[in-house]
Structure 1
Amino acid sequence: MSRDNTAWHTDSTTAFFASLRTNLRLHASPPPSPMSTPQSMSNSAASLPPPSPLSQPVDSPMDATFAAAQDDTLAGVPELTSYVTDDADDRFAALKLVADSIAQMRQSANNSLIWHPLNSAVAIAILALVARYTYEARQDKVIAGLTCSGIIMIFLAASRYLTQGYLFAAETINWEWLGDADVIVTKFGDEVIGTVVVDWVSGEGRAKRKKAWRGEIIAWTVRLKYRKKGVGSALLEEAVKEAKKKGAETLEFSDEHANSKRVLPSMYNAAFDKRDRRGRELLADLLEVSPTKGSPSKHKRRRTDSR
């Protein structure tokens, strides 16, 4: 090949690549290998269109409104407060709450009396015998059914009669019963939803050096629809704080507290005894965490032993 032909071939190749780079808007560097780079990634970032304004974060008025709504979620919820009250209206509401809790024990006692396995078995046996005898004597299912219904009504009336003692006990909750005891209430807004009544008793101290104050809880209850929500625990915590403030040697449930009344034999009182035991255990746990003047701090000993 002659020198002129070689020069012409080189000039033609250079012009071809220059034209190709111009048309495809390629950089002056050699093109990447098509075997190692996908077609969609082979173009330079410079060839991409400018980013859309919608791709940038924009503060929306709706976002601000939603955030404000989250902040105001609890704006309309009444405040929950617990404190020792001297207000006559609050103390009266607390007394009514205690009386209601005693009256409500009647319903629980009725359920225990009716659904106790022994009573249920006896009632079913009596109904079966009466239904069989009545049907064989009269050959009439209607009469047998009416007779059994009458027996059931007698059972229910007897149950209500045997548990009416709780109504009489509720009527004894008055100002005289309250005396000078401290009343701690929990209010949800303006409504008293729980109370604990503590009577401070002066007696001989454990060290037998001087008389010490002892707190006795004579009532502890929460309105029915607010139970099992931690309100009762908060009330006992307030009672423990008040005992520490007064320098009480200990704080305990009185053996004659308002809900200690039992009108049925012991085998029907399992639910009441369990509730009473759980309250005493809860108070003991709170005293371990925040002991009063004379109560032992088992919590601290356990923490020391664990180390």
Structure 2
Amino acid sequence: MGDQVDADIAAQAEDPLAGVPELRSYKAETDEDKIAALKLTADSVAQMRQAANNALIWHPLNLAVGVAILAFVARYMHERKHDTYLTGTTCAGIIMAFLAVFRYMTKDYLFQAESINFDWLGDADTMVTKFGDEVIAAAVVDWVSGEGRQKRKKAWRGEIMAWTVRLKYRKKGVGSALLEEVVREARRKGAETLEFSDDHANSSRVLPSLYNSAFDKRERKARDLLQDLLEASPGRGKKK
């Protein structure tokens, strides 16, 4: 037993990645992989609710209004000789009311997450990245038939309906690698264009525009990354 442990330690010292499963990206064919990809996509939509809540809580305008209301209430109760405990519980109740309103304002993200199912998927392709047996990234691409530039043949247009990475694996290059695989798939299919769908899974905005800056920034970065990968991809069509 001890010799085996020593051998394992020695092997890890020689190769720090020994025993670590490789990342694999491919087109999902089984219902098991597709269900995992749909769940991952739905989770990413649901996570937008938390991000939207944070935007509401920490937005300077909302903070200023909230502080002003709390200050007014605290001063009013102090002038009426109410005790500190009652003042504190009243202010805490106001804060809880604000949080409840914010959660109500963002509830639509949960409904949208629940709509991510096989009916939503339709005939679109599902690309997944696996770490061992775990699906850690997913992309859904719909291939649309349309007139080619030469007018003599039909061509494919790729529309990315979803692209997401499991939360703990983000900012590690996993999403970029999967998107690069999507670009390669588009080249194999002879698609003339590949772009994010206007109504992709994470495109919804349930709050007014002043609270959506974080979402809009991510959207721009995703589209810029896709454009960079397309430009770097061999065999890309010449622009006219």
TM-score bracket, shorter-length normalisation: over 0.9
Question: Which of 195, 198, 222 is the matching residue for 2:141?
Answer: 198
Question: Which of 102, 105, 113 is the matching residue for 2:56?
Answer: 113
Alignment of 1:137-286 (within 5 A): 137-286=80-229
Contact 1:217 1:251 in 2 (8 A): yes
Deviations 1:258-306 (A, max 9, x none): 0001100011000000001100000000000005554649xxxxxxxxx
Distance 1:117 1:295, change over 3 A: farther
| Residue type at the aligned position of 2:217 | K
TM-score, normalised via structure 1 length: 0.73
CA distance in 2, matches of 1:173, 1:215: 19
Residue in structure 1 matched with residue 66 of structure 2 by the alignment: 123
Question: Which of 79, 85, 91 is the matching residue for 1:136?
Answer: 79
Contact 1:206 1:294 in 2 (8 A): no
TM-score, normalised via structure 2 length: 0.93
CA distance in 2, matches of 1:69, 1:285: 37
> Greater CA deviation, 129-138 or 186-195?
129-138
- 3-state secondary structure, aligned to 1:214: strand
Percent same amino acid at aligned positions? 70
Bigger Rg over Cα: 1
Contact 1:287 1:295 in 2 (8 A): no
CA distance in 1, matches of 2:111, 2:8: 57
Alignment of 1:54-73 (within 5 A): 68-73=11-16
CA distance in 1, matches of 2:235, 2:193: 6
Structure 1: unaligned runs, 5 residues or longer: 1-63, 298-307
CA distance in 1, matches of 2:92, 2:8: 62
Deviations 1:6-48 (A, max 9, x none): xxxxxxxxxxxxxxxxxxxxxxxxxxxxxxxxxxxxxxxxxxx
Deviations 1:116-172 (A, max 9, x none): 000100000000001100111133111111111110000000000000000000010
RMSD between aligned residues: 1.8
Residue 81 (structure 1) aligned with residue 41 (structure 2):
no
Alignment of 1:23-42 (within 5 A): none
Distance 1:130 1:217, change over 3 A: same
Distance 1:152 1:289, change over 3 A: same
When the two structures are aligned, how many residues end up with a matched partner?
Answer: 234
Residue in structure 2 matched with residue 3 of structure 1 by the alignment: none
CA distance in 2, matches of 1:251, 1:122: 44
Displacement of 1:201:
0.4
- 3-state secondary structure, aligned to 2:18: coil
| Residue type at the aligned position of 1:210 | K
Residue in structure 2 matched with residue 91 of structure 1 by the alignment: 34
CA distance in 1, matches of 2:85, 2:108: 37
Contact 1:248 1:294 in 2 (8 A): no
| Residue type at the aligned position of 1:120 | L
| Residue type at the aligned position of 1:151 | I
Distance 1:162 1:237, change over 3 A: same
CA distance in 2, matches of 1:209, 1:118: 56
- 3-state secondary structure, aligned to 2:27: strand
Contact 2:40 2:137 in 1 (8 A): yes
Contact 2:57 2:63 in 1 (8 A): yes
Structure 2: unaligned runs, 5 residues or longer: 1-6
Deviations 1:201-255 (A, max 9, x none): 0112234443310000000000000000000000110000100111111111000
